[in-house]
Amino acid sequence: MRRDLLSLDKANAEQVARHLVMVMNLLGEDPTAALAHARAARERAGRVGVVRETAGIAAYTAGEWQEALGELRTARRLTGSNALLPLIADSERGLGRPDRAIDLARSAEGRALTGEEATEMLIVESGARLDLGEPEKAVVTLQAANLKPGQTGDGPARLFYAYATALLAAGRRDDAVTWFMNAASADIEDITDAEDRLVELADGVDLVEPGVDEQTAPAPVISEPAEARRAAPAPTETTEPADERPAASAPTEILESADEVQAEPVREVSEKSAEAEVGSSASESAEESDADGGVEQVEAETPTPEPVVASLASGYDALLLDLDGTVFAGAEALPGAVEALATVGVPAYYVTNNASRRAPDVAAHLTELGFEAVADQVVTSAQAAARMLGQQLRPGSRALVVGTDGLAQEVREVGIGVTRSADDRPDAVIQGHSPTTDWAILSEAVLAINNGALWVACNIDPTLPSERGFLIGNGSMVAAVANATGKTPLVAGKPAAPLMADAIERSASTHPLVVGDRLDTDIEGAVTVGVDSAVVLTGVTTASHLLVAIPEQRPTYVVDDLRGLLSAPDTARIGEQPGWTVVVERRENEISVDVSAAPDAVDAALLPALAAATWSALDAQGGNESESDVVVTITTSDDRVRGLLDALGVR
């Protein structure tokens, strides 16, 4: 750990080390306090792998699943080690996504694990199988582990306990008793409640713990005292065994006759999942006892669920959200944004071109405004630019920083020294937004670049939205340096690929949706990396801008604000819309669009329909024309349509 902290300055390394020691001291007795120390270490050394790993373990132990997932993924990326995969998979279970946990376990990396990590992954996969109502598969999964009785220690105790739990869920009560006994014998540190389970089985009591509401039972992996926990998925030595009490909305296995023991439910369904409404009825399975006292399981018919209209966001596994003009404007959250993101049910990551603040500061600002956010959900152009420097320069090189102290710290954390003077002969110049940037520091940048320094710009946004309007942005400052040097910088932020690629990697997404207010950064950035996008009309882009967007700046959807993420996707998707008739006439340098609506036409579908028709006409004119090249005229004889166009600002 000392070696890993060498990239920090001595004083900072000392502080980080002290926080890490406190994490380990407090983890078993006060997970919340341990997590606070882990967060403090992360704020000082967010690019150090062992720090992010410690933060991930602390968040996991405290039951902060989303934070744990982000930290552990980051640690894995920084260290290149797959040893954290079991913890990552178990965090997916904690978030109610057992299918993702199974995918990780069955992946090439998951299968390549060896030793204790391999066993832990099998325990997690078995728990995920139980979450999905597949007890027999859970049993088979654990049979690949070393189930040799007579072993002692935390690892065997957790393994035997998990196997007993799976056997019980599968209806094999006698076998389950045997393996709870093996778990109790192996558990010399009393990390499981195997002995209590044996007493319950012997007394024939209900195995769902008293006081637990079956409709709101906690997720499969929770932070509780060891004696109250059920299942064993706990992938590290520093983590207690976790709970295996899934929600009662899933099928219940009847193991004995009516006066015998009833096993607990074996599947956890996220409260936000559409499956939750269906699963509760499935738990009403019937039972029939045979002459020998055995039980024949009879599955009740599951009622056909009511059709559920999916929201726009539900078709994606992550939202990559711009900040200024999309989520907030300066010190104010935009209307409906807090409520929409709290309801949407899809992991949100905040991707900002603004390089003036570090991720923990951005997360704190979001929290102050009412959003739920942690530092690892924030991806900044400062991080992406510093990473570019780390890839371009040798360790120990020096960069002249034009920007805030936060940007300077990001540079230090990739092993690059920092200066503010061209006299130090820096190897590179990194330029990000700062409200204090002045002639003097821009002149230092010009001197260094003219002396051959590599030049990296965090972003080239010409303006910065605020509650007062549009302020001067980093791109305008970059333009001044470019004009003075005749050079062009490498760009990290949107629409360039590095920041978008970092965000996709951070979210571990395979099908993300980019959401932003700027066509030339957010939407073009999505097009650059080949993913879907939605433009909101709360920032820079207006309806008129959208109608004449060039091909590389065309979004998949358009919505008024973030509340549109909860709407039906077809209504927001740019294309032909039911009930809307759009007639286009093309003349030289002019396009005339006449629009009318049927009585059942959806108001929100007007702009998507108009945009699709206008883009088609622009492309037929030759493509890539800008607003100044072609005049587009919208006409209508429908008073309803005229009112909607006026509301959109389209005259």
Q: For residue 160, what pLDDT band results from cuts at 50, 70 and 90?
A: very high
Mean pLDDT over the full length of the chain: 82
Average pLDDT over residues 568-590: 89
Amino acid 291: pLDDT:
37
pLDDT digits 0-9 by tens, 258-297? 233 333 333 333 333 333 333 333 333 333 333 344 434 4
Least confident of 116-125, 450-459, 584-593: 584-593
Give the pLDDT score at 223.
Answer: 29
pTM for this entry: 0.55
| Predicted local distance difference test score (pLDDT) of residue 324 | 87
* Structure confidence at residue 632 as a pLDDT band (50, 70, 90): confident
State the pLDDT at residue 413.
Answer: 87
pLDDT score of 239 more than 70: no
H or E element that contains 567:
none
- What letter represents residue 483's amino acid? N
In the residue annotation, 423 being an active-site residue is answered as no
What pLDDT is stored for residue 298 in this prediction?
Answer: 40
Dist CA 583 CA 580 (whole Å):
10
Catalytic residue among 90, 187, 193, 324: 324
Residue 335 in this model has a pLDDT that exceeds 90: yes
pLDDT band, very low/low/confident/very high, at 592 (cuts 50, 70, 90) = confident
Q: Which of 90, 193, 322, 522 is catalytic?
A: 322
Residue 234 pLDDT more than 60? no
Q: What is the pLDDT of residue 354?
A: 86
In 438-494, which ranges are continuous DSSP H helix? 439-450, 474-485
Helices within 45-153 (DSSP H only): 49-61, 65-79, 85-94, 98-106, 108-111, 115-131, 135-142
The pLDDT assigned to 563 comes to 95
pLDDT category at 2 given cuts 50, 70, 90 is: confident
Q: Give the pLDDT confidence score for residue 20 in this predicted structure.
A: 96
Cβ contacts of 148 within 8 Å, gap of 6 or more: none
Question: What confidence tens digit (pLDDT) does each residue in 415-468 have?
Answer: 899 999 999 999 999 999 999 999 999 999 999 999 999 999 999 988 876 767
- Supply the pLDDT for residue 204: 66
CB neighbours of residue 79 within 10 Å: 16
Sign of the C-alpha dihedral computed for residues 606, 607, 609 and 613 taken in this order = positive
Look at residue 366 and tell me whether its pLDDT is greater than 90.
Answer: yes
522 is catalytic: no
| Contact (Cβ atoms closer than 8 angstroms) between residue 25 and residue 38 | no
Q: Which residues contact 389 (CB under 8 A, 6 or more apart)?
A: 397, 399, 411, 414, 416, 428, 430, 454, 456
622 pLDDT tier (thresholds 50, 70, 90): low
For 190, 245, 334, 638, 639, the CA distances from 155, given in Å and listed in that order, are 12, 20, 49, 73, 73
The CA distances from residue 447 to 402, 419, 642, in Å, are 13, 13, 56
- Residues 176-205: tens digit of each pLDDT: 999 999 999 999 888 899 898 898 888 765
Per the CB < 8 A criterion, the answer to whether 597 and 579 are in contact is yes
pLDDT at 15 over 50: yes
State how far Cα 55 lies from the chain centre.
16
Average pLDDT over residues 531-540: 94
% of the chain residues with pLDDT over 70:
82
